[in-house]
């Protein structure tokens, strides 16, 4: 497993406490979005389609702390946008660490090396670096050449300084299982603590609607990717969620398990759907018609969703909610641990190969370093990253 024992114990104690008190709906991870601004415009992302006025705004540290205290979840994920664009992100992280919250700061890592000096290594802080597979697939997904190499360089720098580092990989229809296996091997050799996987959610406003995964295709793809035993990969996820992605364990979405707080308040009903806001976490729990969401509800927006933010808390609940779930999790954990031992004892050390691969694409759609689609809308204070020109890319051939 790619999760420290102290974090596992904290989550287990928290969930068991809720169970013993008969609490049916409780948060496990708070999705704290301090801003929507980003220095990339990924083809599959619908999070940055806001007017310039909104993109210039961000939550204050005090607003972030209030939301964390109100929610009470033991884990806090900080997505965006790009959180490292927030002028007080180091203050926010320090305040959460002081509260002994396990923080996952999600980043595309383009600014990570520049800002590492603002943070202190801690068991409570992990940089969750967005890497959507090998170089060609990643640069395709984020629509800009050079981002994979920048992310790998930043990961190395963070690990060398003693920071916890995980990766966050969103998969689309063009993902190739064999290349993903090589990617997993490379990430393990690089020294990341664990990897997180998720199929992409089909945001209505995302520029690329063609390559989102349908449910059947998700199960087929993840069965091919994860159905290879003995490789010693570490995943920063519940074993039951990984089984769910392969169609081997039934889970129903629990959107209240990962509530979202952002500029507009508590987002209804989840991180992926924007159907109103509540002014308090309790109001979110009380006023959201939860029965209208999830696959069993028949909601068309939920039928193909198998995303981690909806089903990871369901897997955690299943682990501690029944003997069957707990036994399955224990068995899968022991099996993964045994595979890691076998790999360490028999597999020769190998230097990860990050060779240069060209990307096919149309002529540049923007000037180098210019945030695509934003026209530098967030104002002159928006940090730019010098990378290869932004390109509109074609999908890889299978």
- Region 270-282 average pLDDT: 94
| Residue 335, pLDDT score | 78
| Residue 211, pLDDT score | 53
The span from the CA of 376 to the CA of 380, in Å, is: 7
What confidence tier does 353 reach under pLDDT thresholds 50, 70, 90? very low
The span from the CA of 180 to the CA of 133, in Å, is: 6
| Residue 269, pLDDT score | 95
| CB neighbour list of residue 190: distance below 8 Å, 6 or more residues apart | 152, 155, 156, 159, 352
Which pTM was predicted?
Answer: 0.83
The span from the CA of 216 to the CA of 200, in Å, is: 14
Cβ burial 266-277 (10 Å sphere, 16+ → b, else e): bbbbbbbbbeeb
| Residue 167, pLDDT score | 97
Return the beta strands (E) in 176-236 as ranges: 194-199
Angle at 84 between CA 38 and CA 29, to 5 degrees: 90
| Residue 344, pLDDT score | 56
In contact, 129 and 104? CB cutoff 8 Å = no
Q: What does the DSSP assignment read for 130-188?
A: E--SSHHHHHHHHTBTTHHHHHHHHHHHHHHTT-EEEEEEEE-TT--HHHHHHHHHHHH
Length of the chain: 398
| Residue 266, pLDDT score | 98
Q: Where are the domains of the chain?
A: 28-346
What confidence tier does 338 reach under pLDDT thresholds 50, 70, 90? confident
- Region 18-43 average pLDDT: 91
The span from the CA of 364 to the CA of 283, in Å, is: 47
- Region 34-40 average pLDDT: 90
Among the listed residues 193, 194, 195, the one whose alpha carbon sits nearest the alpha carbon of residue 163 = 193
Least confident of 36-40, 171-175, 379-383: 379-383
What confidence tier does 141 reach under pLDDT thresholds 50, 70, 90? confident
Domain 28-346 has CATH 3.40.50.880: no
Q: Is the pLDDT of residue 157 over 80?
A: yes
Q: Is the pLDDT of residue 4 over 90?
A: no
What confidence tier does 230 reach under pLDDT thresholds 50, 70, 90? low
319-333 pLDDT per residue, tens: 988 889 989 988 888
Strand partners, 166: 128, 194
| Residue 210, pLDDT score | 52
Which residue matches tokens 């209804």? 268
- Region 105-124 average pLDDT: 97
Q: Is the pLDDT of residue 98 over 70?
A: yes
| Residue 209, pLDDT score | 47
The span from the CA of 44 to the CA of 140, in Å, is: 10
Strand order in 194-199's β-sheet? 194-199, 164-171, 125-130, 102-107, 75-78, 29-32, 260-262, 265-269, 274-278
The conformation of residue 361, written as its DSSP 8-state character, comes to B
In contact, 157 and 114? CB cutoff 8 Å = no
| CB neighbour list of residue 8: distance below 8 Å, 6 or more residues apart | 1
Q: Is the pLDDT of residue 280 over 60?
A: yes
Q: How many helices (H) and strands (E) does the chain have?
A: 13, 9
The span from the CA of 287 to the CA of 278, in Å, is: 8
Cβ burial 106-136 (10 Å sphere, 16+ → b, else e): bbbbbbbeebbeebeebebbbbbbbbbbbbb
The span from the CA of 195 to the CA of 183, in Å, is: 11
What confidence tier does 356 reach under pLDDT thresholds 50, 70, 90? very low
| CB neighbour list of residue 51: distance below 8 Å, 6 or more residues apart | 377
Q: Is the pLDDT of residue 361 over 60?
A: no
Q: What are phi and psi of 345, to 5 degrees?
A: -85, -20
**What is the average pLDDT value for the chain, to the nearest integer?**
83
């Amino acid at each position: 497993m790619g999760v420290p024992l102290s974090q596992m114990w904290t989550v287990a104690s928290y969930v068991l406490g809720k169970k013993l008190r008969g609490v049916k709906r409780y948060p496990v991870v708070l999705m704290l979005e301090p801003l929507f601004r980003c220095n990339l415009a990924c083809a599959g992302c619908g999070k940055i389609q806001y007017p310039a006025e909104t993109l210039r705004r961000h939550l204050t540290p005090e607003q972030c702390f209030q939301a964390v205290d109100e929610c009470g979840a033991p884990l806090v994920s900080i997505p965006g946008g790009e959180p490292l664009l927030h002028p007080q992100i180091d203050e926010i992280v320090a305040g959460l660490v002081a509260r002994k919250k396990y923080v996952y700061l999600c980043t595309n890592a383009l600014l990570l090396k520049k800002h590492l000096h603002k943070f202190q290594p801690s068991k409570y802080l992990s940089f969750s670096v967005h890497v959507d597979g090998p170089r060609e697939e990643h640069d395709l997904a984020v629509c800009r050449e050079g981002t994979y190499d920048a992310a790998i360089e930043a990961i190395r720098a963070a690990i060398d300084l003693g920071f916890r580092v995980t990766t966050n990989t969103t998969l689309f229809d063009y993902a190739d299982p064999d290349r993903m296996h090589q990617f997993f091997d490379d990430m393990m050799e690089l020294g990341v603590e664990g990897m997180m996987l998720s199929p992409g959610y089909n945001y209505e406003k995302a520029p690329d609607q063609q390559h989102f995964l349908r449910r059947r295709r998700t199960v087929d793809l993840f069965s091919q990717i994860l159905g290879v035993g003995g490789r010693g990969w570490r995943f920063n996820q519940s074993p039951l969620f990984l089984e769910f992605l392969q169609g081997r364990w039934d889970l129903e979405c629990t959107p209240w398990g990962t509530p979202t707080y952002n500029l507009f308040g508590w987002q209804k009903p989840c991180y992926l759907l924007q159907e109103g806001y509540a002014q308090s976490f309790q109001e979110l729990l009380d006023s959201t018609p939860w029965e209208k969401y999830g696959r069993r509800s028949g909601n068309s927006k939920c039928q193909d969703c198998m995303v981690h933010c909806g089903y990871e808390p369901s897997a955690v609940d299943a682990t501690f909610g029944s003997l069957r779930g707990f036994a399955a999790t224990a068995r899968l954990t022991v099996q993964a641990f045994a595979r890691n031992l076998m790999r360490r004892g028999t597999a020769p050390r190998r230097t990860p190969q990050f060779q240069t691969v060209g990307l096919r694409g149309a002529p540049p759609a923007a000037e180098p370093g210019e945030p695509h689609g934003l026209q530098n809308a967030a104002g002159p204070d928006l940090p730019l990253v010098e990378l290869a020109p932004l390109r509109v890319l074609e999908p890889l051939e299978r």
